[in-house]
Amino acid sequence: MPHTETETRSVLPAVGRVYVERDALEYPDTERIMERLPDAPVQVIGHYKDIFNRPGQHFQTQKHAPALILAVEKENLLYDGKSRVASWGANLPLYYNAPVRNCVYNCDYCFLQGMHNSGNLVVYVNTEDFMAAASRKASVEPIFLSISYLTDLLALEPLLPICERWISFAETNDNLTIEIRTKSDLFRVIRHLGKPLNTVLSFSLSPDHIARRYERGCAPLQGRLLAAREAIRAGWRVRLCIDPIVRTADWKRQYTEFVREIFRRLPSDGIEEISFGVVRLAPDFLKRIQLMRQDSDILYFPFVTEESGTYGKVSTYPADAREEMKRVLEQELLNHIATEKIHFVHG
């Protein structure tokens, strides 16, 4: 489905520059993106890591006008996700991939700030190779694949219809369930795809004041709820993530009211599952982020670092605070939705 120029501009930050790997020049997606961004200066490069991994970059400065780096991924087409991607209680082997690295949004707590040297976005234009890798794995057994673990893919859909391609692709493979997680309100750009059975659309939700203050650039809560309601009405598989829960001074009242607001707007029988979890980051990521930015109070809570089973070490709220947050959220969620649909995530 064609997307208008207005839609493209409404979700993309000002793109500072487009870098194109020499190997990516001949791909149709490269041409498509360049057509969409006719005013951006273009520079041809040898390998995307020459730009993306170079030392001395400043993630947050680059977020003001990130470059797009168009590249061909040759090696890392599929990752084992059992220590990364919440299982939603499903018994399927978990995988994730990275059709895009980095995000058009800029959440204060985002782990990508600690993972990548650069705030620029890498868009891999060889989607078919990622699909072939997923297909090979799914030919052996049913799998659950997160395709937006290192980005918000739906937010980029007006620029490049990667979600649309994956949704259509998953419909051709009974062994493949994909998850698209988003803080956008852009369901409208994929709603024409009918009622896909093998796609889980996960809306990541936060109380409105948290979204406005700490989830910079993301759709407001009301927009996400509206998009989730439309998706449910259109017969899509919808899940919700209340993650991360941020311990502000008034968190208890705010999150309780927020859960009530969700269920005033959404029918509980249209929601497959809800996952929730508190702020948590790999300790080295948190250190890097703190060194980089002092403009966000939520990064300076007196976190503790602890072992977290399969997830390794995490920096997070102390156990008593965490347990209290879990209990309060769980109690309120249980007023609205069956216990088997609630899934606490930590790690």
Q: Which residues bind ligand SF4 (CB under 6 A)?
A: 103, 105-107, 110, 112, 151-152, 183, 218
Measured distance CA(96)–CA(78) in Å, rounded: 6
Least distance from ligand SF4 to the Cβ atom of residue 211, Å? 10
Return the DSSP state at 65: S
Least distance from ligand SF4 to the Cβ atom of residue 314, Å? 16
Measured distance CA(128)–CA(73) in Å, rounded: 11
In terms of C-beta distances under 8 Å and separation of at least 24 residues, what long-range contacts does 44-49 make, across chains too?
Answer: 44/19, 44/20, 45/19, 45/20, 45/21, 45/69, 46/21, 46/22, 47/21, 47/71, 48/19, 48/21, 48/122
Nearest to 141 by CA among 85, 179, 91: 91
Considering beta carbons, is residue 30 or 148 the nearer one to ligand SF4?
148
Considering beta carbons, is residue 238 or 337 the nearer one to ligand SF4?
238
Least distance from ligand SF4 to the Cβ atom of residue 156, Å? 10
Strands (E), 135-191: 143-146, 176-182
Least distance from ligand SF4 to the Cβ atom of residue 223, Å? 14
Instruction: State how beta strands 100-101 and 106-107 pair.
Output: unpaired
Least distance from ligand SF4 to the Cβ atom of residue 189, Å? 17
Neighbours of 225 (CB within 10 A): 21
Burial of 14 (0-12, 13-18, 19+ CB in 10 A): exposed
Least distance from ligand SF4 to the Cβ atom of residue 205, Å? 12
Exposure on the CB side of residue 215, measured as CA atoms within 13 A: 22
Considering beta carbons, is residue 68 or 107 the nearer one to ligand SF4?
107
Task: Note whether 51 and 45 are within 8 A (CB).
Answer: yes
Q: Where does the chain have alpha helices with state H?
A: 5-11, 28-36, 48-52, 59-63, 112-115, 127-138, 162-171, 208-214, 221-233, 251-265, 283-292, 319-334
Considering beta carbons, is residue 156 or 238 the nearer one to ligand SF4?
156
Neighbours of 56 (CB within 10 A): 5
Considering beta carbons, is residue 184 or 198 the nearer one to ligand SF4?
184
Q: Tokens 């024409």 — which residue?
A: 192
Considering beta carbons, is residue 27 or 166 the nearer one to ligand SF4?
166
Considering beta carbons, is residue 36 or 101 the nearer one to ligand SF4?
101
Least distance from ligand SF4 to the Cβ atom of residue 110, Å? 3
Q: What is the dihedral of CA 102, 81, 192, 37, to 10 degrees?
A: 20
Considering beta carbons, is residue 104 or 271 the nearer one to ligand SF4?
104
Least distance from ligand SF4 to the Cβ atom of residue 61, Å? 16
